[in-house]
Chains A and B, each alone.
Chain A
């Protein structure tokens, strides 16, 4: 057989001058997009994945709106569905973030991470590409939640810019959390263990929050926890952006504090995950 490999395919080796540094820096983004596209293709090739990951949040909306909703009273003069949807949006992106854990554990166990790490790609890209892809999926799922909500009586009360801001803050918070999930995936290594590990810590955080019921109804000790934890903060922020001043117990302060939480989570878990990635094999 004659050689058919004619293409000059030598990987570029930028120098240490400014142009080289800029080139290298730009790879952080281009490599991230390459990896994100790879992760999103899975949803196209395996549409069941998207279908089943959206059925669960839709069930939560219906369950809480119709089964528990009648028994839950919320302060102020607002419909329970309007109280519920911001909480459900956060719950959805956080449960979705657990997919980051599973995805990375799969990549590790199947040798994909070894392959990526032997390539001259940016070392942040495998993780950033994964969290980016999961956040893009979250945008889709949150919009679907809003659509289902509108069918059963939900509506944004605070104008379009605030509505967009509500969705953005929800998705951005999910993105910050998926860096925690990424770290868990890298240390769990096994996809089946990751199924549990990705989920189990999110569950109490979501339920011991203001997502479904006002925290005032909880016992004192739990109330104390529910009030300080970041998920209640973010739910209140989303609720404030959705409902305006009618949102019970929520204010613009919650929005600022949410941004602080997000920055804090990213500041810890982005470097921690990348450090763990570099020593994974």
Chain B
């Protein structure tokens, strides 16, 4: 299989911050690659290097055999980028935005028009095509942004956090659009803070932290390595938390964690459904009342805890580093 993207020991510094501290990757053609990490991990910096927006301080990177520094002018012909912001002109209509991008790819006005028409159909924006983009909803703006990144028929597409800040339904729509693109043979590199998103879309995932790749593999391999489902319990009487922990310790081979302030208990499990029955039976026979019980997918936070021994938010200090749809509990204390 040919490699679409090759990254070798790339470094990038901003003042004291080592945004990329020796990243190496190779991404085969016609696959989807997800770069997973919290805010400030270096995801956007790597995308910026690969899309010629930033020069690496050291190391080499190439896309389709074109060097990101020496061949950058040619490289821009064959890539598409949708950044973290929906970068569309607010005052231009959807159609005008797409035609403008087509003209800047030098497709010629006629081709740019035809291409815009097709993309508007494809992204269900025909009805809104002649309204200024500032009247669009967030989801429509993201669709237009994605459409704009496809105007030049890119062979490799970069999507930097394509669904951050979108509501759950809009996120699902975006996922479907992205899946369709991939089916047509585009090589895709996306960055995300959501393990779920990487899982849904990507063939290969790399976890990045402080400018380094700390884990890499298929979604399944990575999940079995790091991300167990998490059983989350809250018991009625906080005072009996340690009793509950004692009863449940042998249920799973994983480390159990408690959160005394809220009476919560977290248990990583491999076989969620049957463990739930076991847990309920044990608590019942110990006469411990259960207030809440939920089984959730591992979050980026769990991945981080397991890979680095610390939480994603500690790292992304002061930034909103966790997904809004997966509320994270307050600090846990380990009781293993």
Binding site for B on A (CB under 8 A): 1, 3-13, 27, 30-31, 34-35, 38, 41-42, 45-46, 110-112, 114-121, 125, 281
Residue of A nearest to B84 (CB): A111
User: Other CB < 8 Å A-B pairs besides A10-B77, A112-B87, 18 of them?
Assistant: A3-B184, A5-B153, A7-B111, A7-B118, A9-B105, A9-B115, A11-B107, A27-B106, A30-B103, A31-B103, A35-B104, A41-B89, A42-B91, A111-B84, A114-B48, A114-B81, A118-B51, A121-B104
Per-residue CB contact flags for chain B residues 104-122 toward chain A (1 = under 8 Å, else 0) read 1111000100110011011
A-B contact pairs, 21 of them (CB 8 A): A5-B150, A5-B153, A7-B111, A11-B77, A11-B152, A11-B153, A27-B106, A31-B104, A38-B92, A38-B100, A41-B91, A41-B96, A42-B91, A46-B91, A114-B48, A118-B51, A119-B104, A119-B152, A121-B106, A281-B48, A281-B54
Check if A13 sits within 8 Å of B115, measured CB to CB: no
Identify the closest chain A residue to B180 (Cβ): A1
A118 in contact with B76 given A5-B118, A7-B118, A38-B100 (CB within 8 Å): yes
Report the Cα distance A205→B49, complex, angstroms.
41
Q: Is B83 an interface residue (CB 8 A)?
A: yes
- State whether the Cβ of B281 lies closer than 8 Å to any Cβ in chain A: no
Residue of chain B at shortest CB distance from A49: B91
> Is residue B37 contacting chain A, with contact meaning CB distance below 8 A?
no
A111 near B83: Cβ-Cβ < 8 Å: yes
- Given A5-B122, A38-B92, A41-B91, are A115 and B81 neighbors across the interface (CB < 8 Å)? yes
Q: Note all chain A residues with C-beta closer than 8 A to B107.
A: 9, 11
Alpha-carbon separation in the docked complex, A121 to B92 (Å)? 19
Q: In the complex, what residues of A have CB within 8 A of residue B106's CB?
A: 11-12, 27, 30, 120-121
Q: A5-B119, A9-B151 are in contact. Are A34 and B103 (CB under 8 A)?
A: yes
> Quick one: which of B48, B83, B102 has the most chain A CB within 10 A?
B83
Interface of A is mostly: loop
From residue 149 to 171 of chain B, which have CB atoms closer than 8 A to chain A?
150-153
Q: Closest chain B residue to A114 by CB distance?
A: B83
A9–B91 touching, CB < 8 Å: no
Q: State the B residues within 8 Å of A (CB).
A: 48, 51-54, 73-74, 76-81, 83-87, 89, 91-92, 96, 100-107, 111, 114-115, 118-119, 121-122, 132, 148, 150-153, 180, 184
Chain B residues in 8 Å Cβ range of A117: 52-53
What residues on B are CB-neighbors of A8 within 8 Å? 111
Bound together, the chains give a CA A112 to CA B87 distance in angstroms of 5
Tally the A-B contacts, defined by beta carbons under 8 Å. 109
Are the CB atoms of B153 and A118 closer together than 8 Å? no
Residues on B with C-beta less than 8 A from A13 are 74, 77
Q: State A116–B105 Cα separation when bound (angstroms).
A: 10
Query: Among the interface residues B78, B106, B122, B150, which one has the most CB atoms of the partner chain A within 10 A?
Result: B106
Q: Chain B residues with Cβ under 8 A from A112's Cβ?
A: 87, 89
**What's the least CB distance linking B89 to chain A, in Å?**
6
CA distance in complex: A9, B148 (Å): 13
How far does the Cβ of A17 sit from chain B's closest Cβ, in whole Å? 15
Residue contact B104 to A34, C-beta cutoff 8 Å? yes
| Chain A residues with CB under 8 A of B91 | 41-42, 45-46
Chain A contacts of B101 at CB under 8 A? Answer: 115, 119
Q: In whole angstroms, what is the CA distance A13 to B87 when docked?
A: 25
Residues in A with CB closer than 8 Å to B151 are: 9
CA distance A273 to B73 in the complex (A): 19
Closest chain-B Cβ to A274's Cβ sits at a distance in Å of: 15
- Considering the chains assembled together, what is the distance between the CA atoms of A251 and B51 in angstroms? 53
Chain A residues closer than 8 Å to B73, beta-carbon distance: 120
- Say which residue of A4, A7, A10, A38 sits within 8 Å of B89 (CB atoms): A38
Please give me the residue from chain B that is nearest to A45 by CB atom: B91
Tell me the minimal C-beta distance from A247 to chain B in angstroms: 41
Which residues in A have their C-beta under 8 angstroms from that of B52?
A: 117-118
- B132 — which chain A residues lie within 8 A by C-beta? 45
Q: Given the complex of chains A and B, what is the CA–CA distance between A210 and B89 in angstroms? A: 40
Most buried by B among A6, A7, A115: A115
User: How far in angstroms is the closest Cβ of chain B from A127?
Assistant: 14
* Interface pair B51/A119, CB less than 8 Å apart: no
By a CB distance below 8 angstroms, the chain A residues around B79 are 118
> Once bound together, how far apart are the Cα atoms of A224 and B114, in whole Å?
61
In angstroms, Cα B165 to Cα A40, docked, is 31
Complex: how many Å from CA A31 to CA B92? Answer: 17
CB pair B118–A115 under 8 Å, yes or no, is: no
Question: Nearest Cβ distance between residue B183 and chain A, in whole angstroms?
Answer: 9
Task: Give the residues in chain A near B74, CB-CB below 8 Å.
Answer: 13, 120
Q: Is the CB of B96 within 8 A of A111?
A: no
The answer to whether B77 touches A120, judged by C-beta atoms less than 8 angstroms apart, is yes
Residues of B within 8 A of A38 (CB): 89, 92, 96, 100
B122 surroundings in chain A (CB, below 8 A)? 1, 4-5
Complexed CA–CA distance, A115 and B133 (Å): 16
The winner among B86, B91, B104, B114 for most chain A CB atoms within 10 A is B104
A207 to B227, CA, bound (A): 66
State the CA gap A41–B133 with chains docked (Å). 13
A110 near B85: Cβ-Cβ < 8 Å: yes
Evaluate contact between B118 and A11: CB separation under 8 angstroms. no
On chain A, the residues within 8 Å of B78 by CB distance are 11
